Amino acid sequence: MEQLCSSVTSFLNDEAAKAATALKNCTKNCNWKKHKDELVKAAQKKAKDSCAKGEAPDINDINNGLDTDAKARLKSLYDRNSRMFDGTAKLAAKDFDVKSNQSSASTGKGGQVSDLKSSEPDIKKITSPSEFSLANKSTTLPASAKTAPTSTPKASAQAASYIFWCSCPQDDTGTLFETTDYSDCVKQCCEKYHGGTDCPSGDGGSDIWKKLKEMLNSIIKALREIKDAAAIALRDKFVPLEKRGDIAWVECDGKGGFRIDFPGFNQKLLKEACDTQVCTLKHEAAHIRDAMNAYPDRCKGEPENKADLWTSLDQIVFRKKSECRATLEVDLPCMAGKLASARTNACKADLKYQINYYKKFVYNENQCDTRFGYPTYFEPYPGY
């Protein structure tokens, strides 16, 4: 008993150290490792209590939390102790000092005394091996005899068969159910609580769900590509790129101020085609800020919808400078942001093309680098 308790205690201490180390090093989805650590600690307590009572620890009580390999090693430990354990307590070692002047002797047939070396048991000799033959005799045994164990120490009965009790960490009630080992416990819990965050990524349910999500995302992506490509084609049909400058403009509001005229149909075309209508609005708003700083009274006395505002020589220079600023500092960085967040290849290609086109156009038309101090056309501009 003492030897078994010592072996079991040492074994569980090693498993507890492994479980504690695994929990300490865990950084994600650690409920399983925490649950296993608790089970092994509980097994240590049960083994300690049993040994304190002078009883062999029940293998069915202490195998919770052990994986298949550890469970097999525990069973082997019980088997070894079962073969060595004879059911009696350890006796203190003692030497028996027996002194005698007579030599060893035995009494043979007829009361004759002879020494041990020359004595011989009075056993009938068997001369025919056929006497041991069971060929013509029935060897059928009762069922009870077939299944009866040859020895019945408690450790041997425990090692022969045992049950692994499992409790799922997702189950707040702590309900126990039978499983074959720790791995089977994890599998059953993941099947019962399908898609839980504590389940290993390789369980069947997670794999199926992952494949379904990938398939759904692939379909959504394909539909987005079709939708964006159709929207870009529709926009180009009604407003070709070379006429895109006329899609919105600044005009007088009839009250001495400025306003942006951006027809709803044009806004819808740009919104559906990669959501660039906001960049156009920012571009025109930049023109109004420049006008308010340079010519705040330009629309005073002008009728509503007056649009052709910059006609004098100095106003033409102002318009070119404002165009450089609105395009290079507002419009193109806005489209570069749209490019970075674009979800489809159709929009990515379209936005890249627009950025390059407008950059080239504004430099050619307004000489932004030579007249207004902007970087040369060949230098990358911040944001795109």
- For residue 12, which of 55, 53, 57 has the smallest C-alpha distance? 57
Side-chain half-sphere exposure of 373, counting CA atoms within 13 A: 0
Cβ proximity of 108 and 114 under 8 Å: yes
Tokens 């692939």 locate to 218
- For residue 4, which of 91, 88, 86, 78 has the smallest C-alpha distance? 78
Tokens 């749209």 locate to 338
For 211-255, the pLDDT digits (tens) are: 888 899 899 999 999 999 999 999 999 988 888 888 999 999 999
Helix (H) or strand (E) holding 114: strand 113-115
For 258-287, the pLDDT digits (tens) are: 999 999 999 999 999 999 999 999 999 999
Whether the per-residue pLDDT at 346 is higher than 80: the answer is yes
How far is the C-alpha of 339 from the C-alpha of 333, rounded, in Å?
Answer: 10
Q: What is the pLDDT of residue 194?
A: 64
Query: Which of 86-90, 161-165, 263-267, 369-373 has the lowest average pLDDT?
Result: 86-90
**CA diameter of the chain:** 157
Whether the per-residue pLDDT at 15 is higher than 70: the answer is yes
Cβ proximity of 30 and 65 under 8 Å: no
Identify which has the larger pLDDT, 372 or 7.
372
Q: What is the pLDDT of residue 232?
A: 95
Identify which has the larger pLDDT, 332 or 133.
332
Query: Which backbone phi and psi does 245 adopt, to 5 degrees?
Result: -65, -15
Q: How confident is the model at residue 154 (pLDDT cuts 50, 70, 90)?
A: very low
Identify which has the larger pLDDT, 379 or 270.
270
How far is the C-alpha of 286 from the C-alpha of 264, rounded, in Å?
Answer: 20
For 35-45, the pLDDT digits (tens) are: 777 887 888 88
How far is the C-alpha of 74 from the C-alpha of 134, rounded, in Å?
Answer: 41
How far is the C-alpha of 80 from the C-alpha of 83, rounded, in Å?
Answer: 5
**Residue 302, CA distances (Å) to 191, 263, 291, 314 in order:** 76, 21, 15, 19
